[in-house]
Structures are given as C-alpha cells and as structure tokens.
Structure 1
Amino acid sequence: MKQKRMYILVLAFAVLMFALVGCEPAPEKPADSTAQRLPAKPTVVDTDKAPTSPAVSEISVTPEAEQNGLKPEVADLTFAKETKPQFSQKDVQALVEKQVYFPEKVSMPTDRTPYKYGQRDLNDDGVAELFVLIQDQYFCGSGGCTAYLFSADGKKLSRFTVSEPPVFVSEKQTKGWKDLIITSRGVQHVMQHDGKKYPLNPSVQPKISRDEFVEKARTAAKQQEIYVQDGHNLRLKSTEELPLLSPYEDIMFVFDHYGDPTVAYSIDVRIENGKAVVLPDTTFE
C-alpha cells in the first residue's frame, strides 16, 4: 500500500513538473541582423533631368539682387577651370532692362535679344562676374557698342564704350583682376583694372595681337592624328561662335573631315608659357 502511494506521488510530481515546464514562455528569437545590414534602396534619378555638372555651393542673394529680380542659379560654363556662372538668361534680361534700358528711358526690344553676355570669375573670389555687350542701335556707333560689367549681385562695376566681339579674358592680372582683351574698331586692346574699375574706352588702351599665339596653335592642331588622317580646311572659330569672355590663351579651331563631311570638328589649343598644348576631347558638332 505504501509503495502504491509512493508511486502515485512520484507520478503526480512528474506531471506537475511537466506542466510547469510547458508553461514557460518560449525564448525570443534574436533580431534579424541580416535585415539590419541590408543597404537602403538606391535613389533612382531620371538622367534626362539630372544635372550634368558637379554640385556647386549655394550662392547667397543680396537684398539688392532680390529687388532687381536676380536669383543666381547654377549653369554650365564652357571652361572647366572657372567657377559656375551666377545668372540665368532670365536674370540677365531683368538686369539689362533695369540697369541699362530703364535709366536711358528706352524700351528694350521684345522681338529679339539685343545683347550678348558671358560670365567669368575675374578677381578669383570664387564668384563669376557678368559681362554684357549691348547690340542695339541706341547703344552703338560706328566704332562699336556699349558694354557693362556687373557683380554677382547686379551692381554695375564698369562701363565700356566702342566695344565689339570678340572679348577675351587673359590669365594675366592687374590689381587683383584679370586683364580683359576688348575689340574696338577691329583692333584688340588690353584693359587693365586700376583697383576700382576697368578703363572706359578700349580704343585708347594698348593694342595687342594674338597672331603669334594663333600660328603656334595652328601648327600643333595640324599635327593631331585626326587632322593628319583626313582633316582639311583648318580655320579659327568665327567671332559669333566664340563666347564672350573666352580665355585669351585658348585658340579654338574648326575643320572639315573627308571621312565625315557632314560633321564639323573642332580642336582647342592652349598657349602655356609660350608652348602650345592641345586640349583633350576633340568635339564634333
């Protein structure tokens, strides 16, 4: 009898222990570390809308610029060594109308663009200045037209009379500003900054010629393989093709190619320390 009771107690104890073990909460699964290591989904960019040039620091807009309706924006620039331009076409139009036409009490033409413009950093402050050449009968004479240089916030820095394209920028500097080479009556003149502004009348400033640069550059261009093979009719880019404020030391050629007569080829040559250096990437237009 005692053995039977002992057996029942042992069996009851075993059942009780089994029940207690079964009621314990299951251990939590460890966090899925694999999910934590998965990288975030890449941002899909529409290449048709994506900017093709590197990002540029945002440019502050002064109250005066806002009043003038100037909102600097990033745009492409032809020459890689330079900073990005500040003005969009809309900005330039608003500036010319307010700073050039309005003071003269003259209406700006609406059927055409009566000016050409270019942007370069002329004083190495990281911000491009704006050069505007007015091409309107009211601002032009037999010797050329009136041109203006503006700061990034729309302030008028210099005015030039009897000017015409091409207008170049030299790597040489005077008083911390790059020398300008402005054409007047078909002759190129050196315009040196005096610490406050550039001279008013290009025609009375020292003359300069690029003939030596051009001949050195022409020799180098003709030695390029793509020209030696089937190139012919090497010539300087026309004045209309050259952007205002093009580098004075860069000589730009175009030529024809027997292998592809429908395409215009170009070769750019830079004169550095008296030597001709052909710039990379011949272009096809």
Structure 2
Amino acid sequence: MRNEILIAVITIIMVSCQNKQKPEQRNIIKAIAEDTLAKTVAGTADLSDPPVKDDKAVKTIQKQLLVLLKSDLPAMTKEDRFFYYEAFDLNNDKKSEYFVGFSNPYFCGSGGCSGYILNNDGSIINLFTVTDFPIYVAKSSSEKFQDLIVSSKGIFHLIKMKNGKYPSNPSVKEVWKGETPKESTKVLDIDEKKLEKYSF
C-alpha cells in the first residue's frame, strides 16, 4: 500500500513539474523520481519517517550550552556555535538523557571531540573529551546507568558510571576487548544518521 501511494505521488509530481519547469529541471526531477521508484520497487528505499524534532529538548540544550560555555563564547565564531544531539534513556526512568556532540575545530582535535550528557532537565551529567562518535550504549550497567563503549583515538573503551559521573576522558579507561556488540545502540552517529545541526 505504501509503495502504491509513493508511486502515485511521484507520478503527480512528474506530471505537474513537466508543465512548469524548464527542460533541464524536468530531467533532474524525472531522474530523482525514477531513482526513488526503482529503489522502492527493489525494496532498498528508506521509507522510514524522519525523527520528530523535539523543540523542548533543543531549547533546553541551547540554554545549558550558553551557561556551560559562557567563558568560551567570546572566542567562538558563528560556525563554531552548533551542536548535534540524540536522546536516550540511560537509567530506565522513562525520561531521556541528551547526548550532545560537536564536530567543528573549536571542539575537535586530533584525539577526538568534546561532548556532553545532560539530564532531561538540562543539568549536566558529564563532559567528554577526546571522544569519537558514535557512542555505543552497552547492555551492562553501573549505578543504575548503562555502561558506554566509547572510541577514543580509534580504540574502544568501556566506561562506567561511578559516583554519579562517567569518566570524562575515555582514553584512560579499560580497553574494550573485541568488536563493538552488534546489539549495542549507537548514539550521536553524526555522519551515518545525518543528524540535524542546531545553533546555540
């Protein structure tokens, strides 16, 4: 049923665009429509709905970053002032924590990037340094929070909650032996998930 609806929509777009667009624009639209149709028929098209934007979460994170980075703001350019985030409930309290990451030169260096984990209310749980994204959420837990598998300089480390905090520098913690578990959830997969970028 979904395929039939998609085919009908593509057909309508192609017909309406052919009447209004220049010849070269019609060819581009036609090529995109044909590619989408071919992928849909072959079962390779990504028909999943895009993630719902949580305006409350974005505003909470923006507000907290302005506080956490207050002394850095004068030195930052407009291009430095953006972040990515992903929500995940780390302690099964039915409230998501927010993983906040950066991917620009102000926050990233040869060892990796900086990032934060914030509570649902915006208060800080952790600052991370020398971290490569994505971060993997392990099945094990410590102090009611799930352990994390974090890559730093290309090496995976297992980090555990201790005294209400995760270690800020994963590179000095226990090396994860073996490959990352396939069942682990990836968060802040900035490149592969094409996460939306927000300013602060």
Tell me if TM exceeds 0.5: yes
Give the share of equivalent positions with the same residue, in percent.
Answer: 30
Residues 71-95 of structure 1 show CA distances to partners (whole Å, capped at 9, x for unaligned) of: xxxx957xxxxxxx78433443333
- Residue ranges of structure 2 left out of the alignment (5+ in a row): 1-49, 184-188, 196-200
Q: Is the 8 A contact 1:133 1:164 kept in 2?
A: no
What pairs with 1:79-94 in structure 2 (closer than 5 Å)? 87-94=56-63
Higher radius of gyration, 1 or 2: 1
In the alignment, the residues of structure 2 paired with residue 163 and residue 114 of structure 1 have an alpha-carbon distance, to the nearest angstrom, of: 17
Is contact 1:147-1:159 (8 Å) kept?
yes
Matches within 5 A, 1:248-259: none
Q: Which residues of structure 1 form unaligned runs of 5+?
A: 1-74, 78-84, 218-237, 245-285
Residue 184 of structure 1 and its aligned partner are, at CA, apart by: 0.7
Q: Does 1:196 align with 2:164?
A: yes
Matched to 2:90, the amino acid is: L
Cα separation, partners in 2 of 1:103 and 1:86, compared to 1, 3 Å? same
Shift of 1:210: 5.6
Cα distance in 1, alignment partners of residues 111 and 117 from structure 2 = 19
Q: TM-score, normalised by structure 1?
A: 0.42
CA positional deviation for 1:208: 1.8
- Structure 2 counterpart of 1:130, from 79, 87, 98: 98
For the pair 1:176 / 2:176, whether they are aligned, the reply is: no
Please say if residues 130 and 150 of structure 1, whose CA atoms lie closer than 8 Å, have aligned partners that are also in contact. Answer: yes
How many correspondences in the alignment? Answer: 141
What residue number does 1:207 align with?
Answer: 175
C-alpha RMSD of matched pairs (Å): 3.2
CA contact (8 A) 2:157 2:176 kept: yes
Contact kept? 2:80, 2:104, Cα under 8 Å: no
TM-aligned CA deviation for residue 203 of structure 1: 0.5
Is the CA contact (8 Å cut-off) linking 1:176 and 1:195 kept in structure 2?
no
Structure (1 or 2) with the greater helix fraction: 2
State yes or no: 1:240 paired with 2:199: no
